[in-house]
Chains A and B, each alone.
Chain A
Amino acid sequence: MEVQKEAQRIMTLSVWKMYHSRMQRGGLRLHRSLQLSLVMRSARELYLSAKVEAHEPEVPLPPVRSPDPRLHQSREAEAVAEAAPPDGEQPSPEPMDTREAPPAEETPARCAPRPAKVSRKRRNSSLSDGGDVGLVPSKKARLEEEGEGASAEVSDRLQPPPAQAEGAFPNLARVLQRRFSGLLNCSPAAPPTAPPACEAKPACRPADSMLNVLVRAVVAF
């Protein structure tokens, strides 16, 4: 829970910073926007992985980087992505719509750092040594939730999508919405343990409203 709260806090903070940076003299700075979006993405991933852990204490394997076919369907631009970078050639961001995110197709040059990013999924082990209080899922929290189980399959289903929204400015709001609908709709496939969806729901709701606020903030931005 702490981890989720902290991740939420950082996401909110990042959105605020991004909004605020538009007002400063000299306009949006590309580098700053990039860094803010990286932190936002990390926070989102942390939030989601913490959420998953809350219901599935087994450490899920890092997902294979297989692009979600849904994402490849269309190549239309996203509002948030346009809003964030101060691309001199695109003066004003379009209002957000529900179009699909463009595929995260990497040019060969950019594939190189990918493995490093994939390995970031092993957040549980590598971060536990870090000093960031509140950001690291504590072992204690995981043990407490050991009882509630959910399938590894479910977690696998949940994990891959965040990995795909690569590129610096994913459509944060849209992805968040999709992730949450996935979480709520997931059914217990293989394991006999209690369906995580039912258990997830009550726990989700308070967080949901928070995320909806965030989503609205991003949309407004």
Chain B
Amino acid sequence: PPSCWLFCSPLLPSPLTPALSPHRCHPPPSALSTPPSPGEGGEFRKQRPRGTQQGHHLQRNMAGAGGGNDIQWCFSQVKGAVDDDVAEADIISTVEFNHSGELLATGDKGGRVVIFQQEQENKIQSHSRGEYNVYSTFQSHEPEFDYLKSLEIEEKINKIRWLPQKNAAQFLLSTNDKTIKLWKISERDKRPEGYNLKEEDGRYRDPTTVTTLRVPVFRPMDLMVEASPRRIFANAHTYHINSISINSDYETYLSADDLRINLWHLEITDRSFNIVDIKPANMEELTEVITAAEFHPNSCNTFVYSSSKGTIRLCDMRASALCDRHSKLFEEPEDPSNRSFFSEIISSISDVKFSHSGRYMMTRDYLSVKIWDLNMENRPVETYQVHEYLRSKLCSLYENDCIFDKFECCWNGSDSVVMTGSYNNFFRMFDRNTKRDITLEASRENNKPRTVLKPRKVCASGKRKKDEISVDSLDFNKKILHTAWHPKENIIAVATTNNLYIFQDKV
């Protein structure tokens, strides 16, 4: 029934929000939120009225991939259109679990945000975890035009970050290239009925027909989830925003573009502080740009930013107002045997993520994932090769632009396993304890629920064994750039170009 995934409030926007363009009530449907055709994997179920919001998930064993208790990953659900013809607006551009893992948000190139909610576990069927179903869909950003520069500003959602929950409503930050928005997602499950002057459908009654008076009362209604923009943080970035990160004080956050990082207060939209500026006086001397930035999970004064040269700088905001001078510089000397024509550009870091503990950080460059100990700057403590077989194909990957792909990476809840995507809809997991790794594929072929995923293997050269795939038959159009791991359980969300896969461990 449409009411369970309605996305806009019929009420006027709150006077707290600055003047906004009218919030559209019915954005074009994202393919992620439309029910799959019958016979497809993943059922779309009606949203049931929910009870309390308390966490209702059992703490599962956080064994890693190939850990002591070998995890077996099973298909759970897939969201999105089946067609091979992908509408550009449906391309998923970001995936993020909230702090409890109950909500899963995706952003797409069309500027839409789709939020999925995990169903409460059925006590009878305690062996299966709740499924994720559409909870809310809204148009977060619209395309804009900068008349001064004659530039179109894309509505593509670059990043979504959740705020920790403080009351009944949920809050998230979403950003495109230029503007960050704070969205409030709230539920409405009762409505007032019994007005004297209005009919139930809203039409005004003829006052002469009113003969008695009654007091309106609240009656339960089908759950409606509303998303409203509460803050718009605009006009602070000359270049394209690549990251946002919420501080552990839950009051401030940073936004980073190619050359600058700004610090915001969540309540204040008309100003922000610039805390990093690497723009050279002479743009022709530009050699390096900022590629990602993140606040430390526990120290509210510490953040890191990565660069296109493969370095990471850790900054302490207590040191000075402008953190151009780093406190620590993490850089690994280049291996001369690996030097090649494209070395410089494949060393660019596409993502940086702190571990939940705050002791480590992980970086992703084109071919590898590196884990750094914050106490050691001169080299990473662990390096994992994601797809080393591509090193000899860099020229072709430059031709087809794949060499510029920005892969993300993520930690599991216990920081024992890290995950990142690759091509051919493969994604990789590395267990830091056992040093074992696994390659899995996100494909509709394995879409029976609880089907265990078969490990895949790419044959780099030489004789191809049975079930192996040769490098030349990899599909470079099928890339997994965005993955997310549930903060507490072994549930992962993997985004292919326009589909969202949810896998979980075999229970």
Contact = CB atoms under 8 A, between A and B. Distances in A.
Contacts of A25: 152, 154
Interface in A186-221: none
Contacts of B401: 17
Interface stretch (A29-37, A56-64, A176-184): A29-37
Given A107-B280, A116-B334, A46 B152 contact: no
A88 B153 CA distance: 13
Given A126-B339, A132-B341, A34 B152 contact: no
Interface stretch (B52-60, B281-289, B376-384, B413-421): B281-289
Given A88-B238, A135-B395, A169 B151 contact: no
Nearest to B289: A31
A133 B105 CA distance: 43
Interface stretch (B13-21, B133-141, B342-350): B342-350
Interface in A5-47: 10, 13, 17, 25-27, 29-32, 34-35, 38-39, 42-43, 46
B285 A35 contact: no
Interface string B327-347: 000000010110111101100
B308 A31 contact: yes
A144 interface: no
A168 interface: yes
A107 B391 CA distance: 33
Contacts of B334: 116
B344 A10 contact: no
Chain B residues touching A, majority SS: loop
A191 to B, nearest CB: 31
Contacts of B286: 30, 34, 85, 167-169
A126 B337 contact: yes
B50 to A, nearest CB: 39
B341 A127 contact: yes
Interface residues of A, number: 51
A77 interface: yes
A104 B284 CA distance: 9
B284 A81 contact: yes
B151 A26 contact: yes
A83 B154 CA distance: 21
Contacts of A30: 239-240, 258-259, 286, 289
Given A35-B308, A35-B345, A43-B341, 17 more contacts: A17-B401, A26-B177, A26-B240, A27-B151, A30-B239, A30-B259, A31-B348, A34-B287, A39-B398, A85-B286, A89-B238, A129-B337, A131-B392, A132-B340, A132-B342, A132-B395, A167-B284
Interface of A: 10, 13, 17, 25-27, 29-32, 34-35, 38-39, 42-43, 46, 77-78, 81-82, 85-91, 102, 104-107, 110, 113, 116, 119-120, 126-127, 129-132, 134-135, 166-170
